[in-house]
């Protein structure tokens, strides 16, 4: 429905909503909209309330040069909310910013007089724009400005996420990925600990031989490494 409406001469007012998600940094989730609904109340979309808060963003458009967008989001700091987040979470670097868009006629009925909107449709929306804070551009007066980047453009992202290492297990010893739940076996150099109970000396050397000591020489090993990688020739 929204695809056909946007082709009309008067498609309706575009509504921009923003979610600032700091859960990966140890914080919470905030929902903002730069305005109110027709009742001068916080706007509600898909059952979620978006607090009226001065916020704007630009630069989401793709160009023909193959470069990914680097949007900029500007947020009011008149109440000190953003400056507090900057201090607590290292300028919000790595925090997620989601831009959601729909048309005014699809908003929840609660936004309209009498709680009535026959065209309300929570599924009528443009795809979410999901970005992450790459850096804080400025924090001056009552305004904070941030530069955003896509997940694959973050300077801290390593690709591939899992490195190919020839003979080193990347699983944390005794973790669910490791899977070992037996008694003490050997130290980090594969020397037997001589104890049937965990003594604090037991530690995995992260080698295939270390894995075999715990699971058996002929068993299927949960080794989280790539033993054959070192044998490749070019």
* Spatial contact of 177 and 189, defined as CB atoms under 8 Å apart: no
* Domain limits, the chain: 2-153, 158-234
In this structure, are residues 150 and 131 in contact, taking their beta carbons and an 8 Å threshold? yes
State whether the Cα torsion 113-114-119-120 is positive or negative.
Answer: positive
Mean pLDDT, rounded, for 147-155 = 77
Pairwise pLDDT comparison (202 vs 234), residue with the higher score: 202
Using 50, 70 and 90 to split pLDDT, how confident is the model at 1? Answer: low
Over range 100-124, report the average pLDDT.
Answer: 93
Residue 145 near residue 57 (C-beta atoms within 8 A)? no
User: What pLDDT, on a 0 to 100 scale, did the predictor assign at position 232?
Assistant: 47
Asked if 109 and 121 count as a contact pair (C-beta separation under 8 A), the reply is no
How confident is the model over 35-69, as pLDDT tens digits?
A: 999 899 999 999 999 999 999 999 988 776 667 78
**Topology, domain 2-153:** Pnp Oxidase; Chain A (2.30.110)
Q: Judge contact between 189 and 201, C-beta under 8 A.
A: no
**What single DSSP character describes residue 196?**
S
Helix ranges restricted to H, 36-166: 81-88
């Amino acid at each position: 429905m929204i695809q056909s409406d946007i082709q009309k001469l008067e498609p309706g007012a575009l509504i921009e909503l923003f979610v600032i998600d700091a859960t990966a940094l140890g914080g919470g989730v905030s929902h903002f909209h730069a305005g109110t609904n027709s009742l001068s109340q916080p706007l509600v979309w898909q059952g979620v309330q978006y607090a009226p808060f001065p916020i704007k963003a630009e630069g989401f458009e793709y160009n023909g040069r193959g470069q990914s967008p680097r949007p900029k989001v500007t947020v009011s700091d008149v109440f000190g909310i953003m400056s507090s987040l900057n201090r607590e979470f290292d300028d919000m670097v790595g925090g997620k910013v989601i831009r959601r868009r729909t048309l005014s006629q699809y908003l929840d009925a609660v936004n309209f007089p009498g709680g009535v909107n026959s065209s309300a449709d929570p599924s009528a929306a443009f795809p979410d724009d999901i970005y992450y804070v790459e850096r804080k551009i400025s924090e001056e007066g009552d305004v904070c400005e941030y530069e955003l980047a896509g997940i694959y453009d973050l300077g801290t992202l390593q690709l591939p996420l899992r490195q190919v290492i020839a003979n080193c297990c990347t699983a944390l010893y005794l973790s669910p990925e490791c899977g070992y739940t037996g008694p003490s076996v050997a130290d980090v150099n594969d020397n037997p600990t001589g104890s049937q109970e965990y003594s604090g000396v037991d530690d995995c050397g992260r080698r295939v031989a270390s894995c075999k000591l715990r699971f058996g020489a002929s068993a299927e090993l949960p080794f989280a490494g790539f033993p054959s990688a070192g044998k490749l020739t070019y």
